Amino acid sequence: MSTQLALSDLDLPRRNGELAFDAPWQSTVFALAAAVIEHAFGGDREPFRQQLIAAIAAQPGRPYWESWTAALEALVQALP
């Protein structure tokens, strides 16, 4: 349960010794989900949460933010 940090990460902000995001694409996909939830679902987080649950269940060992990406892809496909 430890986090390996590359030297290049050392100037990034962190809390309690852990980075909020390990790479720019992670913060991007996090914010993209927030944008879709806010602007396409009127702030209702539940549809995304259900996709995230399904994405994690489909591949439990997959890195978290990759499951997040898969969940957002599935949610976006279902947009009218």
Contacts with another protein by CB under 8 A lie at: 1, 3, 12-13, 15-16, 18, 20-21, 24-25, 27-32, 34-37, 39-40, 43, 45-46, 49, 52-53, 56-57, 60-61, 64-66, 69, 72-73, 76, 79
Residue 7 or 46: the one with the smaller Cβ distance to another protein is 46
Tell the smallest beta-carbon distance from residue 1 to another protein (Å). Answer: 4
- Asked if residue 67 lies in contact with residue 55, where contact means CB atoms within 8 angstroms, the answer is yes
Shortest distance, position 11 Cβ to another protein, whole Å: 12
Across the strands, what pairs with 15?
Answer: 18
Phi and psi angles of residue 32, each rounded to the nearest 5 degrees, phi first: -65, -40
Residues in the chain: 80
Distance CA 12, CA 22 (A): 9
34 is written with which tokens?
């927030």
Rounded least distance, CB 78 to another protein, Å: 13
